[in-house]
């Protein structure tokens, strides 16, 4: 599937501490300098002290001029937020799909289980109708050894399938390694 003519989707993948978020934030700063309004959609739910600390660090890095939205614990929250926020002269940065998907596959205590495939389908369905710039950040977690445990393997598999579907729709796909962006799409020969 080719992206819709007006869909400017950039998928940024990489391992832990590869520079994904910093690269995405630098792209958003460039978009802001060019006149775009920036909307930052944070997907993490603070389930423990370490995650609260990570979330606080991300909050500190964001410019005050950006609209920050922390996704609520609600059905189809990501798709609905994208539909409401993405428009021309707007750049929306979603950080990160790994946490979003994992939280739906293995919800924290007190959070109801959701139909993960329905959530993914809603995300994929909303993308072609968006008319602004969208930057999606996600961890590439399937590059190592086969994980132990069925829940972990299910997460790796689901995230890998989601990445393939998003990469197919995206105009740009970047893999971050050691803080360096490697362009996967468009390929050098297609430019």
Give per-residue pLDDT as tens, 148-157: 788 888 889 9
The CATH number assigned to the domain holding 52 equals 3.40.50.300
| CB-based contact 186:168 (threshold 8 Å) | no
Model-level pTM? 0.91
User: Is 142 within the bounds of a domain?
Assistant: yes
Report pLDDT digits (tens) over 86-100: 989 999 999 999 999
Residues of the chain above pLDDT 70, percent: 93
| CB-based contact 92:132 (threshold 8 Å) | yes
Euclidean distance between CA atoms 116 and 91, whole angstroms: 26
Provide the CA 45 distance to its chain's centre, in angstroms: 14
Confidence band, pLDDT 50/70/90 cuts, at residue 3: very low
User: Is 145 within the bounds of a domain?
Assistant: yes
Q: How many Cβ atoms sit within 10 Å of the Cβ of residue 44?
A: 19
User: Is 2 within the bounds of a domain?
Assistant: no
User: Is 43 within the bounds of a domain?
Assistant: yes
Tokens for 82, please give them.
Answer: 């994208």
Indicate which residues carry an active-site annotation: 58
- Total structural domains within the chain: 1
User: Is 3 within the bounds of a domain?
Assistant: no
Domain range enclosing 90: 8-190
């Amino acid at each position: 599937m080719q992206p819709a003519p007006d869909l400017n989707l950039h998928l940024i993948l990489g391992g832990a501490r590869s520079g994904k978020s910093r690269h995405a934030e630098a792209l958003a700063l460039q978009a802001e300098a060019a006149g775009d309004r920036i909307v930052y959609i944070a997907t993490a739910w603070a389930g423990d002290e370490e995650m609260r600390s990570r979330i606080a660090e991300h909050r500190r890095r964001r410019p005050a001029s950006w609209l920050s939205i922390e996704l609520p614990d609600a059905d189809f929250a990501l798709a609905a937020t994208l539909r409401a926020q993405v428009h021309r002269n707007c750049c929306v940065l979603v950080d990160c799909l790994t946490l979003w998907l994992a939280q739906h596959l293995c919800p924290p205590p007190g959070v109801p289980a959701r139909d993960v495939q329905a959530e993914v389908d809603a995300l994929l369905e909303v993308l072609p109708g968006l008319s602004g710039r969208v930057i999606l950040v996600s961890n590439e977690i399937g590059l190592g050894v086969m994980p132990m445990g069925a829940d972990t393997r299910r997460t790796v598999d689901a995230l890998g399938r989601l990445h393939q579907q998003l990469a197919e729709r995206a105009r740009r796909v970047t893999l971050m390694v050691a803080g360096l962006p490697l362009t996967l799409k468009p390929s050098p020969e297609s430019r």
